[in-house]
Structure formats: structure tokens, C-alpha cells
Structure 1
Amino acid sequence: MRRLLTIGHSYTVGVNRRLAHEMALAGKNRWEVTCAAPRFVIGDLRPIELEAIDEEACHLEPVSLRMTSRPHFMTYARDAKRLVTSGAWDLIHAWEEPYIPAGWQISRWAKKIAPFVFYTYQNISKRYPPPFNWLENETLRNSTAWIAGGHTVEDAMMSRSGYADHPHARISLGVDTNLFQPYTERGNRILSSLNWSASGPPIIGFLGRFVLDKGVNLLMKALDGLQTGWRALFVGGGVLERKLRHWGSQYGDRVRIVTGITHTQVPDYLNAMDILAAPSQTTPRWKEQLGRMLIEGFASGLPVVGSNSGEIPSVLGDCGLVVEESSDSAWKKTLGELIENASYRNELGEKGRDRAITHFSWPVIAKRNIDFFDQLLDSPIPKH
């Protein structure tokens, strides 16, 4: 029986720990999986204490994490070090970037214990200032292999010194296709709570952070130009909330803005939408790395419209609509066509649901991870 330790700050959230849970199921009778999850993190939108999940297949080990409000400076405490250096592992996997202290810490603890593999979602080749460039270089030296979170991540990292010398795999994040699925009754309950009728105009939904990078300004401008009837539901939170509420006030009952919801509530809100819009905007320092809302929208049976920023075109494939990120007129046209064509919305929703199940469901993603780990251990591990 091989023993895997997987550790990451995202595992505090129960739905994120589905990766560890499903790896335990995918490796049943061959792998014993232990998941190290922080007891508490500040989170992007709310403080989060370690969440439970039903019938968890992996062994859960709570650990302490410091400075969780600043991800680039987070560090694990002594209990995490004791766990990593216990010497009981055949492979250690970190869901942490290699250039941050948390990722570097784990690589350093793991280097004399077991092969070490890290995940990265950086899809822009950046020159980090000290000490982050030192941390990244040492993490690479301590690592056996790495996992790219998408096509654009793989392309960017393969151009960087050290990455091409290590084995790697391209494996995205996943989605719980049982939690996220079409469920009209739940959507109707959300509509009722919003004082909206199920028979009203189609609802264009936005899910995520209310920030410039996520395209909130562009979406507001595109909605301003629509001539056909619409409603808009914004779910999330962020620095543009006040501006968003001021903009929405001119439309009265047509706009709803919801903040402070937990991730387990997200499926219900997605079921209240008719279209999911993801107008992410590329900046010199950022472009969309995955767009989890895309695969959650797919799983929920929604037609998904995304910009051509970063990984979005690869995620959507031919099952969603890709729109030029800087063109509010193109967004207006695409959204208008979807609003007016219910059969087309249904067709895209069905294709998206199928793509979520076959490409992004957690069992599929977990098996890819376990297969990669088996491949590494069954092959001669190169020295670095």
C-alpha cells in the first residue's frame, strides 16, 4: 500500500477537499491518502474554519497555517512540519505555488522524506523579485515533478528555467457534478427569496469577485446596451460592490446583488440563472487561470459565455461561447442572442453538463493525479 500526503491551504474548504477524497477512492487498495488541511483561513470573501464533508475517504489531519490573509506570505506551523517529516510517505503532494513560503516550506521538509510534487496555476512567465525567485528555485531543486493547472500554465512554465527538466502533467481542478447539477426547484427557491418570478425575463448571472480583473465593469456596460428584456444576478463580493450597487439602482427590480454566501450555497444560485457570464480581463500581471465558475456553470447545465482571457477558451472548448474580452459590443451581441433563443441556451447547457462530467468531474481529475503519481513511482526518479 502506497501512502500519499497531500497538503494545501485550499483544503480548509470542504468542496476543495474532494480532490483528496476522490484520490483515496481512485487509489483504493493501492493508495492510502492523508490530507493535511488548515484549521482556519481568512479566505477571499469570508473567514473559513475547517469544513467537514460526509463520508470522507481520506484521512484528515488538521494543521496550523499563519498569515492566511496574505497568501504570498503564508507559512505552515510546527504541526505541519512534524506531519510532513514523519517519514511515513511514498509521495508528498502540495496544492501550493512553488514561489510562496508555504510551498517552499513543504518542499524543504519533503526533500529527504519522499518524492515531492507541486501544483502551479501561474500562466504568465514572471520574474519574481527576491525572495520569491529564491523560493521558487529551491522548490524546483527539492521537487520530483510538477502539475500544470491548464494549457496556458503548461506553456508558460515550460519556458521557465528548471521546469522543463522535471516530469510534469497537465491536470485542472475539478467540480462536484452531484452538488452542481440542474435543479429547478432549488433555483426557484432562490428566485422566491429574491422576490423574482420564475416567469420573468432571462437572468444573466455573474459569480465571483467584484473586481476589475473579473470584468464587472465590462458586463455592466454590455447590459446597459441590451435592448431586449433581461435581469442580472451578481453573486460574490469585492471592492467594486459599492459601484455595482450604484449601477444596479438605476434598474430597480431587474438587478440583484448577493454577497456573503458559502460555497455550498453556490449551486442553488447558479440554478437561479439562465446564462452565466465570465468576462475576465487580461492585465499585464494576470489572466484567467481556470475560471472555476465556468466548470460549475457547466455542471449546473447553464449556457456559459466567457472572454478569451487566459485558460477560458481551453476550458469552454466547443461547449461554451468565447467572446473578445475587450469588446462590450461583442458581449452585448452574444448575450442578446442567448436571451432571445431559449432552445440555443438549452443546447449549450446540455453540452456543458456533458463536458463537466467527462472532463472536469472530481473522479476524473483524481484518477489523473493518481495515475501520474503511479507513473512517477514506477519509473526511475531523476535526480535534480
Structure 2
Amino acid sequence: MSKKSVSRIVLCTNEYPPEIYGGAGVHVDYLSRALSKLIQVDVRCFGDQEAASDGLSVRGYRPWTALESHGRPEHRSAFNALTTNMAMIRDDLEADVVHCHTWYTYLAGLIARELWEVPLVVTAHSLEPLRPWKREQLGGAYQVSSWVERQAIETADRVIAVSNETARDIEKVYPGASGKIEVIYNGIDANEYRPVLSREIPDRFGIDDSRPYVLFVGRITRQKGIIHFVDAIRHIDPEAQIVLVAGAPDTPEIAREMQEHIAAAQNAHDAIFWIQEMLSVEEKVGLYSHASVFCCPSVYEPFGIINLEAMACEAPVVSSSVGGIPEVVVDGETGILVDPDLIPDTFTPRDPEQYARKLAQSINTVLRDPERARSYGTEGRRRAVEHFSWDHIAAETVRLYNRL
């Protein structure tokens, strides 16, 4: 007798619209919509969301109020995550597979696998042991997040890695996952992320249309390497404007550090725009579309969906070469890759000033060569469309479910 195909999944995530602040949330948003064209998707997420449409239902869950405001402040996010996980799986699980994203929902998946006897799939968007700066944010709860992640990745029936480099990292950090890791890339909606002619968005932020601008989009976190980019500003051609879409600092410490480095950069550069609020897709597309260069200075990046967004909007990319980024950005074809020369087993450049200078040098190379910039933009868009569509990624994911 042939095995029954998967027709319904429960997808667990901490981020879901309108509560999205990182690449994992973007991934789950688009993946759930693409999957819903093929199977029934029931999303269980952190928050108060409640929605239903053909093929897709969404329900938000809150932490137990008894624990929500107690204990050390740095431990609360872990307690809140774990109790929200318990709330997520208190309802019946009428599904063929439970699919969890990031450590924030892995406990729900582990318990659901035992209570409801359904296969567990986890997607590793990053690995806790490779993000030591999270200790600054979570304190002792960092040990909890790492423990939950290990249990889930080594117990899951399948582990999805978002890049080949991430798959290699999983094998190294969690040997118990060996033999059950599959690579399925992140994707892009190339109809939503596409170049626009209107300059309404740059104009709204006061960006001078007679001067080029270099764009950064991302959270203020050690992982994104934003301090290295800010330090590069004083070496970037003075004619270029700098547009930083950067908010949601991980900790008060990095927030203060950002303020200090921006102040120093402003002494050397006359046109720095710091946009600290979260922007809509429309606003980001408007900025990507008219950027002369997009810069991604990350020191840890399992995939780098932000580069894909920029490429889809025909922005030439200058990026670090860490993690899965070289699987997205083709050096010399869709942009320029810069080696941050990290100290082994750390995420610290051996020479931070040299890294900042190399970023600036590559940015200046693109700024000074409009033909190169156009070619990178055109090829970036082509690559995004041909290799990273969400419909293709959803189909791959369903095929994985059916192999369980």
C-alpha cells in the first residue's frame, strides 16, 4: 500500500505578520503562503493574530501571565518563549507534520512529536552556539536556548538547513543530526521585490536625488556587523549619502555603541540618514530600487535573505563572504564579496579597521563604475528570479514532508 501524502501541517513560529523583525520571520511569512497553495497550513505563532483563508489559518499565543513579569529581566524572553510553546500545543494537533522554526518554538515541536505522534521537521535559520553575542542579550537563558536547540535538532525527523554552509555547521555542532539534514534555500517574492521607478520613498526620507546613496537594512545586532559598516563610512566617497535602516537593538550596550559610532561618522560625513523605525515592504523596495550600492557587513549569516531582497530590486551588492552568503551573491557577477578575516572560532575580524576599509574600498569601486553597478543589478535580479522563487521552495518542502 502506498504511503498517504501529507495534506495538513502545523507550522510553529515566534514571528508572523505583523510581528516580524528578522529574516526568519520573513521566511515563514512567505513560505506559509506558498505552502497553502499545495496543502493546508495551520500557523501557530507568538502574539494575538487570528486569521483564516483558503489553505491557511493563523492563531497567536501568549505566555503564561504567572511567569510573564517575574524573574530576572534577561531571563524573561526565555521563560516567555517556553510557556508560549506550552500554550501552542495545548490545542489538538490535527496534522500530518509539525514544522518548527528557530529555537523559540522547538519545545512545542518536541512535545507535539511525543503527545500527538507526528513527525517533527525543524528549520535551522541559525545556530545558538554560533551566536555568542546572544549571551549579552539573554544572560543565563542563553544556555537554555542552546539546550532546547540541541534537543530539537538531534531529535527531529528532518532538519532543514537554509544553505549548504549551514548544513555543514549543523553537522559540526550537532553530530546527532547527521544523516537527516536537507538543504532548502530561503526565497524571494520577485513580484513584490522588484525595481520601481518612483522616487517617492527616498524623497519622503529627504534623500537627495542628485547624489548616490549606499544602503544598509538590518537590526542593530553583533551578527549583522553594522558597527563595521558605520566605521567604513569615513572611507566612503564623500559625495555618496549613507542610508541606515537600522533599529531594534539587541541590548542597551550595542544601542549605546551604535550612537557613539554614528556620532564619530557624522564628523567625517555630511549626509547620514538613520531610519530607526521598521519599514514596510513597499518602503524597503523603494529604497533598494534607487540605492547605488547595498551593503551587508554581517559577521554571521546562514543565508542572508536581505541580499536577496536587494538583488531582486536590482541593487548592486557589497557583502561580507561569511556563511551562506556566497551561495546567494556571486562575486564579480551580482556584487562584490569582502572577506572579514575573522579570528578562528570567533566572529571578530582580525583587524576591524582593515575590514571597514575593505568594505569602503569595494563600495567605492561600485560607486565609481556605473556600468559595473548596472550589470551587478541586472544579474542580481535574474539570479533571484531564476533560483529563489517561493513556489519552488514550497514544492521542495512538501516533497520533504512526503518522504517522512
TM-score by length of 1: 0.80
Distance 2:395 2:368 in 1: 40
Other structure's SS at 2:43 match: strand
Partner of 1:234: 244
In 2: Cα distance, 1:254 partner to 1:226 partner: 11
2:168 alignment counterpart: 155
Whether 1:189 aligns to 2:200 is yes
- Note the aligned Cα RMSD (angstroms): 3.0
Q: SS in structure 2 opposite 1:363? A: helix
CA distance in 1, matches of 2:232, 2:270: 18
Cα gap change, 1:372/1:80 in structure 2, threshold over 3 Å: closer, same or farther? same
State the AA in 1 paired with 2:56: C
Q: Is the 8 A contact 2:318 2:338 kept in 1?
A: yes
Equivalent pair of 1:228/1:336 in contact (CA under 8 Å): no
> d(CA) in 2 for partners of 1:172 and 1:72?
28
Retained in 1: the 8 A contact 2:214–2:294?
yes
Query: Following the alignment from structure 2 to structure 1, what is the Cα–Cα distance between the partners of residues 270 and 287?
Result: 17
Out of 58, 61, 81, the residue aligned to residue 59 of structure 2 is 61
C-alpha deviation, 1:254, in angstroms: 1.7
Q: Which residue does 1:262 correspond to in 2?
A: 279
Distance of 1:136 and 1:261 partners within structure 2: 28
Tell me, yes or no, if structure 1 residue 359 matches structure 2 residue 372: no
Which residue is equivalent to 2:12?
7
Task: Write the distance in 1 (CA, Å) between the matches of 2:11 and 2:391.
Answer: 16
**How many positions carry a matched residue from both structures?**
348
Alignment-derived partner of residue 284 in structure 1: none
How far does the alpha carbon of each residue in 1:32-83 deviate from its partner, in whole angstroms, 9 at most, with x for none? 221222225xxxxxxxxx4979x67412233334669965441225542133
TM superposition shift of 1:93: 0.6
Q: Write the distance in 2 (CA, Å) between the matches of 1:156 and 1:93.
A: 21
8 A Cα contact 1:145 1:168, kept in partner: yes
How far apart are 1:251 and its partner, in Å?
Answer: 5.3
Match of 1:382 in 2: none
What is the CA deviation profile of residues 228-255 of structure 1, one whole-angstrom value per residue up to 9, with x for unaligned ones?
A: 6211101112314422441353356521
The 1-side partners of 2:268 and 2:147 are apart by 51
CA distance in 1, matches of 2:362, 2:153: 43
Alpha-carbon distance, 1:365 to partner = 2.0
* CA–CA separation in structure 1 for the residues paired with 2:55 and 2:171: 34
Matched ranges for 1:125-144 at <5 A: 131=144, 134-140=147-153, 142-144=155-157
Kept in 2: contact 1:205–1:233 (CA 8 A) = yes
Where does residue 313 of structure 1 map in the other structure? Answer: 326
Name structure 2 gaps, 5 residues minimum. Answer: 1-5, 21-25, 133-140, 250-254, 341-348, 350-354
TM-score by length of 2: 0.76
Structure 1 residues 178, 124: CA separation in 2 closer, same or farther (over 3 Å shift)?
same
2:57 partner amino acid = H
Cα deviation, residue 352, structure 1: 1.0
- Structure 1 regions of 5+ residues with no counterpart? 41-49, 282-286, 377-384
Q: Does 1:104 align with 2:103?
A: no
**CA 1:339 to 1:134, structure 2 compared with 1: closer, same or farther past 3 Å?**
closer
What's 1:22 paired with? 34
Contact 2:8 2:96 in 1 (8 A): yes
Cα distance change of structure 1 residues 328 and 360 upon mapping to structure 2, 3 Å threshold:
same
CA deviation vs aligned residue, 1:79-134 (integer Å, no higher than 9, x gap) = 42133xx242111111132xx5x312321122343111111133586699865565
Q: 1:219 is matched with which residue?
A: 229
Indicate the larger mover: 128-137 or 220-229: 128-137
When residues 340 and 213 of structure 1 are mapped into structure 2, their CA distance, relative to the original with a 3 A threshold, is same
